[in-house]
């Protein structure tokens, strides 16, 4: 597996986990970008928007436009994947105990 694919899988999992950590299960793209960078998964804004669109297509989250930014909201399916209750190819599966 190429490093780019590994990074994408990790970025997608961390996006879902970040959304699962906050009341309301929603964050804007700016906070998500800062969160990914804090985990050492540096990503451009364009790269983040691409990952968010991919996750929305898979039913992991919903997207809405608020002003000039995207807001992501975790779905029940996305929460299941973020904690390892469900597996989706293209998203890193969390390790036990994580």
Q: What is the pLDDT of residues 15-74, one digit of tens each?
A: 999 999 999 999 999 999 999 999 999 999 999 999 999 999 999 999 999 999 999 999
Paired tokens of 44: 């451009």
- Checking if the pLDDT of 97 tops 80, the result is no
Backbone angles phi, psi at 37, to 5 degrees: -65, -35
Residue 56's domain comprises 3-82
Q: Is residue 96 part of a domain?
A: no
How many folded domains does the chain comprise? 1
DSSP character for 95?
P
- Beta strand ranges found along the chain (DSSP E): 26-28, 61-66, 69-74
pTM: 0.95
Average pLDDT over residues 1-12: 94
Q: Residue 98's pLDDT band (boundaries 50, 70, 90)? A: low
Name the pairing type of β-strands 61-66 and 69-74. antiparallel
Q: Is residue 89 part of a domain?
A: no
The alpha carbons of the chain give a radius of gyration, in whole angstroms, of 12
Q: Is residue 68 part of a domain?
A: yes
- The CATH number of whichever domain residue 72 belongs to comes to 1.10.10.10
């Amino acid at each position: 597996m190429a490093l780019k694919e590994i990074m994408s899988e990790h970025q997608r999992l961390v996006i879902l986990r970040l959304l699962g950590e906050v009341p309301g299960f929603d964050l804007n793209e700016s906070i998500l970008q800062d969160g990914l960078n804090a985990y050492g998964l540096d990503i451009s804004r364009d790269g983040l928007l691409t990952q968010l669109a991919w996750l929305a297509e898979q039913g992991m989250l919903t997207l809405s436009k608020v002003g000039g930014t995207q807001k992501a909201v975790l779905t029940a399916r996305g929460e299941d994947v973020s904690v390892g209750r469900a597996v989706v190819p293209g998203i890193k599966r969390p390790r036990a105990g994580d």
